[in-house]
Structure 1
Amino acid sequence: MVKGTYDVVIAGTDLPAVIFGALAAKKGYRVLVLGHGSDKNVYEVNGYLFVRRSCSLFGLSDSAPIRNVFKELALSSEINNLLQHVSPACQVILPDARVDVSLQREVFTREIEREFPGQFKTLESIFGEFEDVERLLEPVLATAPVLPPGSIREWFAYRNSNKALSSLLSKTGTDALEPLSAYPRLRSFLAGPTSAMSRLAEPWKAPIPFVRLISHMRSGPVFVEWGEDTLKKLFLARINDNSGDVRGADSVDTLVVKRGRVQEVEILNRAESIGVGMMVCGDDLHSFLPLIPQRQAKRRYHAKIEAKTPSHYGITLNLGMRRSGLPEGLAHMAHMISDPTKPMHGSNLLTIRIDPAMPPIEGQDPGKVTLSVTALMPANRFNGQAAPIQEFADEMLVQLKRLLPFLDEHLEVADVSSIKLDEKTGLPVLERTGLIEIYPEIENRSIDLMTWPVRTAYKNMLNLANYTAGPLGFEGAFVAAQVAFSILSRQFELKRVM
């Protein structure tokens, strides 16, 4: 029996989904958020605050799509009060160099000229071309076109956006870093950080979002206490404030589908069904679609989704150690590249973040520090079990000790966020929430901005998992949310709006 109906039901709390939910609630849609097994990104082990997935807040202070969301939700002042800029923006550590990406142009110029003698003009020329592309990309992102397009109206918007950018694409080609092929060290200086920022293993092969990543790299991330958890809390609060409901402990048991539409949601372990106007998957679509009974499922679509698999998984190794073990001058975020001539995955590229949970600065223990170390594990090494993840994490630790040779003397606790101990057997098992899926393919007709379409084969179901707008990294969550809201507002007319 249906106990209530919501205009929008969201299952899962991936960032694009909760941003979308806040936008919908602000416009008068009645929104329900079900936690669906999601958890906070920050967790504690032996007094240390670790993260399930490392997150760098790039573009939070200067991105048009992000600004538009906060303005629409009347959160601009609140978020501005939370922001603290980090300097240097990041650090790139090569076998024979350590380069600070400074927010100050003069300092950054000196860093490049010192570590890459005679190559600054080459880099400056590339940055100039990228800035030309970005000047056209910024207004496109601000309008949040639906990508890939579906309706005639969306096709016209896509055509106009694509036309505006196509004249400059010839400058970057299909490999934005091809002009640096003769300079592998300089190439890796750009390739390493952007690989860590994006949800593409080789983001330079998607030139349009790549130039955006370079811009964010140069302007740097910002510090917000408790990071992504704080942002989600703000968006969920906006849903509650606008007559929505957030039920973090509840999960979907079954999706009732009739004539290609999700009609009802049955709640797990409750004798409760909820009517649905628009269904939103805020979690991995692979695990969500099986909640539709087979007799109601679109089997070809399900098979297509099942065949769409990651090329890599982001693995996060958390370390709790005495602060005295940190090398002098290590930046808040550093990208350690062992061999600039090799691909930017495996243990060749480690992204190291200091205190990634972003606890309040005044409350931090001066004698202790937390490090998160993230790297991309090729998917062909993963069999769904914990063992290959632990093996890969051990390889990461070996590489890290090249930077921290006395790590063992200062290390107090280590934890891999995608591994947990089974409560019954005590054996290590997979913890899926700690995995970061990296997909290799970009959607056609998406201006290289989307790795998954927001629309699904079901008429009133949207996909807003973290990886949807993967090429743009953190900013992609806001782009995907605005795309989804455009679809909602055109497909679901809100009759209560006067």
Structure 2
Amino acid sequence: MSTYDAIIVGAGFGGLSAGAILAKKGWRVAVLEASTELGGCAGKFNRPGYRFQAGATVGMGFEKNGVLARLFDELEIDLPPMQRMDTIMDIHLPGQTIHYYRKKSKWFQEIERIFPERSSAVKAFFEEVFQVGTRLDALLLDLPVFPPKRLGDWVRLIPYLNGNTIRLAPYLTQTLYDRLKRYHLHKDRTFMTFLNGQLMDSVQTTAEYCPAFLGHAALHTFHKGAYAVEGGLATVAERLADSIKDNGGEVRLNRPALSVDPEGKEWLITSKRQRTYTAKKVILNNSIHNFTSLFNQQQVADSNISSLEDKNASWGAFVLYLGVDDIFPEDVLYHQIIQDPSKPVTETNQFLLSLSQKEDRTMAPEGKRAITLSTHTELHQWWDRDAYEERKALYVEKMLNGVETSFPSIRNHIDLQLPGTPVTFERYVKRDKGRVGGYIPTGKWSWLHQHSVYTGLNNVYSCGDTVFPGAGTLGTTLSGWIAANEAMK
């Protein structure tokens, strides 16, 4: 049996990015994916006539010097066809709609319309967002290991101690809510509803618990551009997989890693039907939640994973996939619907509606559109088998009621309707208990409790949404890139 330079466990954006970089450098790489699709939570599935985006839908990082643009340049491959949206999304609140524009000038005009009495404060806050976001972009260009866990990590951060990073110090030691107090925005109900909706979709929490720099980075990223990729984000995953194969690597679907065991100075990965693979290095892209199921008790004890696992909570997702007649506008593809500003922005009270592009025939037939609706949900309730079907039907009804407030005739135009729950995500995407979106930030210091790419085991690295910088295709891509760089060292 030959030995691979690296085995990648999981074909999400992190694993595919790591595998593509290593294969491009001449490493012998194999990617083992447990499901039958690429892309993980940013993957897709097909039903007669339709291609649905499983979870993540909004494309970001494709602008000049964006994370995915730089990655594709590094790999010397072309980005798939895509459209950058002038309107990031429409946010539908009871009685009003906020048009979240990409361009600063148009967004500031919208701020004046929506927040006439606080427009100066809101604009000042977003000026801070853009300034801090730009400083964070400069920091990420060199892909440092973060947060530092070992002495060597701290030593390697010394070159970053310059005027730029010193100016970022306040945002590393405060929550976003703390920053809002400076502008007296924390008590503005409409603004906080809008802001918390954006934060939930990007960093999995609200301003009160969000480290300031994470919130600033997420909000700044929105204004670099929201892209609709032809065929959905799974098309990006397919291109990364093709790059791996074009450079001599392997991508194997329906090939779960069942165990990872030491074998001398190498690692033995066992898959179903007792297929085995030997690798010098291993990169895990199958979620930290799955870590303990792969290694024996001694390896878990030797790692730096087990001590943190119980301290970090994650959301699940309830998703509703619809095939519909094309009654929707083509100029805005992403819509956030918040039904009651007085309630938490979870459990169908807030959800994202993502439309396929009007002319994208890979996603829907002529005259039809594919829609993904998604909301955050608590995990534990979905494992009550007796209440499962009733709860699922209730959530479908609540979501459709919410859509009707902005698109009243939606029910008359549905020809395909498929709900998905955390149980679905565990079954098809292989996420433990259906956990998605990474860990939920819990305060200003919560970033220090994140996992870096180091697992604590020799030559075993981790990437994905449970590894810093966390959720979203940008965060997972960056973590995969960092993991590949560290493996090559």
Distance 1:139 1:45 in 2: 42
CA contact (8 A) 1:145 1:158 kept: yes
Asked if the contact 1:201–1:438 (Cα under 8 Å) also holds between the matched residues in 2, the reply is no
Q: How does 1:80-479 map to 2 (within 5 A)?
A: 82-159=81-158, 161=160, 164-170=164-170, 173-174=174-175, 175=177, 176-178=179-181, 179=183, 180-200=185-205, 205-257=210-262, 263-270=267-274, 272-294=275-297, 297-298=300-301, 303-304=306-307, 307-308=310-311, 310-324=313-327, 326=328, 331-355=332-356, 360=360, 364-383=364-383, 386-387=388-389, 388=391, 391-418=394-421, 431-433=428-430, 435=434, 436-441=436-441, 448=447, 451-469=450-468, 471=470, 473-479=472-478
Give the distance between the partners of 2:60 and 2:448, measured in 1 at CA: 16
Change (3 A) 1:86 1:254: same
Task: Report if aligned partners of 1:346, 1:377 keep a CA contact under 8 Å in 2.
Answer: yes
Aligned to 1:58: 60
CA distance in structure 1 between the aligned counterparts of 2:260 and 2:426, rounded to whole angstroms: 28
Q: How many residues align?
A: 473
Letter in 2 for 1:256: D
CA contact (8 A) 1:282 1:463 kept: yes
Note the alpha carbon deviations across 1:443-468, whole angstroms, 9 max, x for none.
Answer: 9999x498433211322222223332
Query: Per-residue deviation at 1:238?
Result: 1.7
TM-score by length of 1: 0.83
- Residue 285 of structure 2 aligns with an amino acid whose one-letter code is G
Shift in Å, 1:145: 0.5
1:120 maps to a residue whose letter is S
| CA–CA separation in structure 2 for the residues paired with 1:30 and 1:189 | 47
Check the 8 A contact 2:284/2:463 in 1, yes or no: yes
Q: For the Cα contact (< 8 Å) 2:199–2:206, is it kept in 1?
A: no
Q: CA deviation at 1:31?
A: 0.7
Q: Which runs of 5+ in 2 are unaligned?
A: none
Q: Gaps spanning 5+ residues in structure 1: where?
A: 422-427, 491-498
- Counterpart in the other structure of 1:425: none
Change (3 A) 1:301 1:455: closer
> Which is worse superposed, 376-385 or 117-126?
376-385
Which whole-Å deviations, capped at 9, do the CAs of 1:145-186 have from their partners, x for residues lacking one? 111324544213335547643434437931244431132212
Please tell me whether the aligned partners of residues 91 and 97 of structure 2 are also in contact (alpha carbons under 8 angstroms): yes
Once superposed, what is the RMSD of the aligned Cα atoms? 3.4
The match for 2:46 is 44
- Assess if the C-alpha contact under 8 Å between 1:200 and 1:470 holds in 2: no
Report deviation, 1:221: 0.9
Give distance in 1, aligned partners of 2:126 and 2:165: 17
State how far apart, in whole Å, the 2-side matches of 1:225 and 1:196 are.
22
Q: Secondary structure at the match of 1:22?
A: helix
Q: State how far apart, in whole Å, the 1-side matches of 2:443 and 2:30 are.
A: 29
Distance 1:429 1:145 in 2: 32
Partner of 1:480: 479
Residues 203/22 of structure 1: CA separation in 2 closer, same or farther (3 Å cut): farther
In the TM superposition, residue 488 of structure 1 has moved relative to its aligned partner by 0.8
Q: C-alpha offsets along residues 306-364 of structure 1, whole Å, 9 cap, x if unaligned?
A: 5255342122211122223x4x68820011122334432222211111128x9835985
* Counterpart secondary structure, 1:476: helix
- Superposed CA offset, 1:216-243 (max 9, x none): 2223311221222211122112212222
TM-score, normalised to structure 2, is 0.85
Structure 1 residues 186-229: Cα deviation after superposition (integer angstroms, max 9, x where no partner): 23223212321334465971211211211222233112212222
Cα pair distance change 1:5/1:274, threshold 3 Å: same
Quote the residue 1:424 is aligned against: none
Cα offset for 1:37? Answer: 2.5
Secondary structure of 1:37's partner? coil
Q: CA deviation at 1:123?
A: 1.6
Alignment partners' CA distance in 2, 1:315 and 1:143: 36
The 1:12/1:359 distance shift into structure 2, 3 A limit, reads farther
CA distance in 2, matches of 1:445, 1:161: 20
Partner amino acid, structure 2, of 1:96: G
Structure 1 residue 409 displacement after superposition: 1.9
| C-alpha distance in 1 between matches for 2:161 and 2:90 | 34
Alpha carbons of structure 1 residues 74 and 128: separation in structure 2 relative to 1, 3 Å: same
Residues in 2 aligned to 1:151 and 1:444: alpha-carbon distance in whole angstroms: 21
Corresponding residue of 1:495: none
Return 4-13 or 131-140, whichever deviates more.
131-140
Q: 2:229 corresponds to which letter in structure 1? A: V
Name the CA shift for 1:296/1:380 in 2 (closer, same or farther; >3 Å): closer
Q: Distance in 2 between the 1:84 and 1:213 partners?
A: 20
SS at match of 1:231: helix
CA distance in 2, matches of 1:288, 1:20: 18
- 1:229-287 per-position Cα deviation (integer Å, ceiling 9, x unaligned): 2111221122122222222232323322258x7621223214x4322111122213333
The question of whether the paired residues in 1 share the 8 Å contact of 2:453 and 2:462 is answered with yes
SS of residue in 1 equivalent to 2:19: helix
Partner of 2:383, secondary structure, is coil
In 1, are the aligned partners of 2:316 and 2:422 still within 8 Å (CA)?
no
Amino acid at match of 1:5: T
Is the partner of 1:57 in helix, strand or coil? coil
What is the CA-CA distance between 1:60 and the residue it aligns to?
1.9
- Give 1:393 deviation, angstroms: 4.0
**Is this contact kept in 2: 1:4–1:273, CA < 8 A?**
no
Taking a change above 3 Å as real, the CA distance of residues 464 and 170 of structure 1, as seen in their structure-2 partners, is closer
Question: Which has the larger displacement, 193-202 or 89-98?
Answer: 193-202
CA contact (8 A) 1:317 1:373 kept: yes
d(CA) in 2 for partners of 1:407, 1:182: 35
Alpha-carbon distance between aligned partners in 1 of 2:67 and 2:426, rounded to the nearest angstrom = 38
